[in-house]
A and B are shown apart, each in its own frame.
Chain A
Amino acid sequence: MFAISNASGGYSESPVIRKVALTVEKNEVVAILGRNGTGKTTLMKYIMAMLPVSAGTVSLDGKTLPEKTAGRVKAGIGYVPQGRFVFPRMTVVENIAVAAVACKQNAKETIESLFSDFPLLSQRAKQLAGSLSGGQQQILAMARALATKPRLLLLDEPSEGIQPSIVDEIAEMLLSLNQRQNMTILLAEQNLDFSLDISSRAYIMDGGTIVQSATKQELMSDKKLLQRLLGV
């Protein structure tokens, strides 16, 4: 359904990611695992066309994606960045509404349905996003990405810097998104437990490229592999 091939790119002439290839099937949850600085975030930005230098192709349902970031979002890629980056001086409602209208969705209906999925946000509807806690902002960033009606949801380290109880909540939300709404999900993570909770298989990154692909069972049974690749 979603495929990257021969992806290279970075912020200057010397590439951060090199010759990455991966696929995600419909309704799958796939994780990209790796230590800090192995290129996970850069790969996410590559998929969103946010890198100054890049080569290779990204396709969704067999179609090569447009060259610009906004075009890729409209083609069906939802993006939750590392560090959340909600619009701080806009309310919770506005953060969701702006994403909906940018992608020609009905803002009112989108907000209603997302508020019923994320009741925590509806209690804070009129609050400025900048005044929310980290976990709340993470949930808002997810709702905002969903407001663009994506077919594939990208999440970059959704558990980073968030208190453990909320991490569990986020894992449940993602699972229910996948199971009840058939959302296809690709996430980059270093939190192994969180990733194994929700994903069925994983790619492991090191030195800017994918060094191994493994199913959940393989990862759970082969602790040595994990230690070697992730340093955990």
Chain B
Amino acid sequence: MSSVAILLIATLGLAVIFGLMGVINLAHGEFITFGAYAALLASGWGLPFPLAVGFATVSMALYGVLVERLIIRHLYNRIFDTLLATWGLSLVMYQAVVLTFGSVTPGIGMSPANLSVGDYSVSWYILFLILVAVFLILLTGLILTRTNYGMMARAAIQDSTMASAVGIESGRINTMTFALGSGLAGFAGAILLPAFPATPSMGFAFSIKAFLLVVVGGPVTLTGIVSSGGALGTIASVVANTWTTVLGDIVFLMATMLLLRIFPKGISENWRIKL
């Protein structure tokens, strides 16, 4: 459960940007890293942890606006150029973290309270992350179905030509989508900080699995990643707990390949639902 939750928290930002803009943000991992360091920075100033998370989310959303305006906007419908540009951005961001904070930085300590269930002891914080994941997915779902922005963003990705033919200005919508996705990535880095101490390369570990979930999830993004994340995360963590984490990762990759063999366009290809 908890590893699925962590996986989904780390994936949601990428899924929103890919699912609503068709842009593959190769710098997604570094956006998570930036979020983590932003939260570290803020708690260094004396902000309590929840406020530090808020600070990381908002500042990454603003950073997302900047990146969309300066880079992504000029590369619409040029998928390889976008890949290269965001990959370049990820290298710059990684080096920026290394230069500013050094290559190893201690994280914020894990909350000590533990919950014992029979023979197992689960950290409260990990349990709390499950709630966070549920809340985050519901919130994203509500934003996409109940707000004007959400409706316009969904229309734009389903048929961009027709969207502009009913008056939707795709530029503004895309800026907001990128900001939302970046904010979610920043939030992920910050909220995972007590469980995953910040290091410059932390984003990389998350982003590989995040990309696979999005691809397996397919065109119905939100339920797609929840299903793929649920399935792949559960299988991998059962294997990892029974044998080793390496075997867990191997099984994760094999299951991904198997699913993509069966559903080349993602598991949600023929789902007739909204999100």
Contact = CB atoms under 8 A, between A and B. Distances in A.
A207 to B, nearest CB: 26
B151 A70 contact: no
Size class of the A contact interface (CB-based, 8 Å):
20 to 34
A184 to B, nearest CB: 18
A148 interface: yes
B93 interface: no
Contact of B151 (A97, A144, A145): A97
Interface string B158-192: 11011111111110000000000000000000000
A50 interface: yes
A85 B159 contact: yes
Interface string B262-275: 00000000001110
A228 interface: no
B272 A101 contact: no
A91 B272 CA distance: 11
Interface string A136-150: 000000001101100
Contacts of B163: 87, 102
B152 interface: yes
B168 A90 contact: no
B154 A87 contact: yes
B77 to A, nearest CB: 12
Interface stretch (A73-81, A175-183, A189-197): A73-81
Given A89-B158, A91-B274, A130-B272, A98 B151 contact: yes
B120 to A, nearest CB: 41
Contact of B168 (A50, A102, A107, A130): A102
Interface in B210-238: 220
Interface string A34-66: 000000000000001010000000000000000
Interface string A107-132: 10000000000000000000010110
Interface of B: 148, 151-152, 154-155, 158-159, 161-170, 220, 272-274
A58 to B, nearest CB: 15
A147 B155 CA distance: 15
Contacts, number: 77
A94 B151 contact: yes
Given A88-B158, A90-B158, A128-B274, A101 B165 contact: no
Given A85-B159, A89-B154, A128-B272, 9 more contacts: A70-B164, A73-B164, A73-B165, A88-B158, A90-B154, A90-B274, A98-B168, A101-B152, A148-B167
A152 B144 CA distance: 31
7 contacts: A69-B164, A70-B169, A85-B162, A97-B151, A98-B166, A102-B166, A148-B167
B166 A99 contact: yes
Contacts of B162: 81, 85, 87
Nearest to B219: A89
B164 to A, nearest CB: 4
B274 A101 contact: no
Contacts of A69: 161, 164-165
Contacts of B166: 73, 79, 98-99, 102-103, 144-145, 147-148
Contacts of A103: 166-167
Contact of A87 (B148, B159, B169, B220): B159
